[in-house]
Amino acid sequence: MQESEALTGWPSEGAGEERPAGSREKGLNRVLNMLEFLHANQRAIAIGELAKGLNAPRSTTYTLVRELVEAGLLEMAGDGNRVYFGKKLYLYGMAYMRGNDLLRRGRQEVDALSRETGETSELCMLQSGRYTIIHSSPGARPFRISSATGLQIPLPWTASGRLLLAGLDRSRIEAMVTEDDLVLPDGRKVDLDDFIDDIARARVTGYCVTSGLVDAYTKCLAAPVFSAPGKVEATMCLVVPIDTSEARTGELVALLRERAARLSIS
Amino acid sequence: MQESEALTGWPSEGAGEERPAGSREKGLNRVLNMLEFLHANQRAIAIGELAKGLNAPRSTTYTLVRELVEAGLLEMAGDGNRVYFGKKLYLYGMAYMRGNDLLRRGRQEVDALSRETGETSELCMLQSGRYTIIHSSPGARPFRISSATGLQIPLPWTASGRLLLAGLDRSRIEAMVTEDDLVLPDGRKVDLDDFIDDIARARVTGYCVTSGLVDAYTKCLAAPVFSAPGKVEATMCLVVPIDTSEARTGELVALLRERAARLSIS
DNA sequence: TACACACGTCTCTTGTAAGAGACAATCGCT
DNA sequence: AGCGATTGTCTCTTACAAGAGACGTGTGTA
């Protein structure tokens, strides 16, 4: 029952979508919620627990789980009462990767960068309006800076977030950031104007460095990957100890930008 | 519009599930069909084409696609009219892999075996009653023996199929094999009793070799991976030219069995 | 210019899937 | 043994999603 920080297992009522009331819910939506729930918890979940966690009626949950297991999207896990992702999802995921040059090459570049520098390296993208770690390669440090693949983090908390929004106008940016997103884990609040300034600056300099935003011990270096001139499709980034020297930081940024540039254009 | 052999883009009306008539279809099922369709075609598909390919009403298809794109399970591809798998599926797939020791280690063993031998190597499992290539690593041969990940092939066509069914009694085996499955690509028919004998023999010897079944040029060597004593969870296999010498085949089988054994028990 | 065919969006109807709830069977605790 | 909580299955009702089809637009071609 490990709970990592703000990851309580379910999006804290946030993302403020419409919730018409206690009325009926479409089966497909229930399924999408189930998948998200499993992803958030990263472990097999008992069916009853699933129903409870999603505020879904038990009978419906049983039915849907059965259908998904039959389809192979879910699998009954070990002890025979819990479910988790199934092979089909793995196969679909691999198909996605095969069909996606950027992802395939990006993973290689990230792995290489992490090997080369010994630091934790990540490939990040926008995923339905949220910053998402698509692939990460842990560094060689004794106490590693962890960050789970697929983790979604508010854009203003990260260097990558500033780059991913480069090129969007103010209204677009505002639309992608909620009030909550501006509050850092330690309670400090990011000023929206500062954030937008950061984005503009990042756009010009072609990289971004943030210190002690998500936590007090790390620094985040990011460089953009372009899918077309001006269009930031992804970022590569390095997560390093906050006391990394200016000089080394500079070196790392150079390496990072080089690899990110190699990914660009497609 | 490449069509590889028997892969016409849609399971040839097979798998004989009930089709009540032309009545209404559940949205979730439509979605599952869409995912299968995309997987079978391995490319982005226009929405209209999807509807046609699935015999689904256009309006419904548009609605479902929109929902899935919003959820990130699908993505609008390149030219902006076609859809394919989305990042969410990739993330879920990676989560599946992370949670699955056998798969994670199996991939490594397969990659190592293929590097070591220069031959095409695969990890295979049963997937809702069908033989499925879960991971494959191409060999070093000039004209490679291809086999797409996720491809599903009738059990009697393969060496792995014989091992995956080891331990099941006759009625179970019969239930998993249709008449069609017994007909090889070149039209020859596998005798059900021979097949069941093969399975029993494979079970005892702990490996299986088949020649010229799926095509006339290849030989298939397979070894079982056990999740519990007697329970075959997966197979590792090598696909080699049919004229591979007895001696080399023996060597390869030994290597294969060694690696498969290393995967077993868990 | 006219024709055939795709695409994307909307509206309205009705068949049916989501859900409430009852049930028996287990499990874990005291 | 006695009690509460959980599990898996089943039945029945009705709110609502699936689907038919019309509409406006864009594109290729004869």
Task: Please state, rounded to an integer, the average pLDDT across all residues of chain A.
Answer: 86
Nucleotide nearest A25, CA–C1', reads C18
B138 has a chain A CB within 8 A of its CB = no
Chain B nearest-CA residue for A85:
B96
Which residues pair with residue B136 across a beta bridge?
A: B122
| pLDDT-wise least confident of A80-84, B85-89, B145-149 | B145-149
Phi, psi (rounded to 5 degrees) for A134:
-85, -40
Of the candidates A28, A89, A125, the beta carbon closest to that of B89 is on: A89
**DSSP strand pairing (B45-46 vs A218-228):** unpaired
CA distances from A133 to A7, A235, A260, B92, B94 (A): 15, 10, 15, 13, 12
**Cβ pair B252, B238 in contact under 8 A:** yes
Phi, psi (rounded to 5 degrees) for A211:
-125, 130
Asked if A90's CB is within 8 angstroms of B134's CB, the reply is yes
B60 CB neighbours strand D below 7 A: yes
Q: How many CB pairs under 8 A join A and B?
A: 128
pLDDT band at B143 (very low <50, low <70, confident <90, very high): low
Q: What is the mean pLDDT of residues B31-57?
A: 92
Distance CA B204, CA B202 (A): 5
Phi, psi (rounded to 5 degrees) for A119:
-100, 160
Q: What is the mean pLDDT of residues B74-97?
A: 92
Give the model confidence (pLDDT) of A130-187 as tens digits.
899 999 998 887 666 666 776 778 999 999 999 999 888 888 888 889 898 899 988 8
What integer pLDDT is reported at residue B190 of this predicted model? 92
**pTM, 2 dp:** 0.87
Chain B nearest-CA residue for A70:
B128
Statement: residue A12 has pLDDT above 80: no
Nucleotide nearest A57, CA–C1', reads C19
B26 CB neighbours strand D below 7 A: yes
Percent of chain B past pLDDT 70, that is, above it, reads 88
Give the model confidence (pLDDT) of A20-48 as tens digits.
445 688 889 999 999 999 998 889 999 99
pLDDT band at A9 (very low <50, low <70, confident <90, very high): very low
A266 has a chain B CB within 8 A of its CB = no
Give the model confidence (pLDDT) of B154-190 as tens digits.
999 999 999 999 988 898 899 889 998 999 988 899 9
Nearest C-alpha neighbor of A206 from the set A184, A190, A229, A173: A229
A42 has a chain B CB within 8 A of its CB = yes
Torsion-angle region of residue A5: left (phi > 0), alpha (psi -120 to 50) or beta? left
Chain A nearest-CA residue for B30:
A28
CA distances from A23 to A55, A56, A57, A174, A195 (A): 12, 11, 12, 31, 39
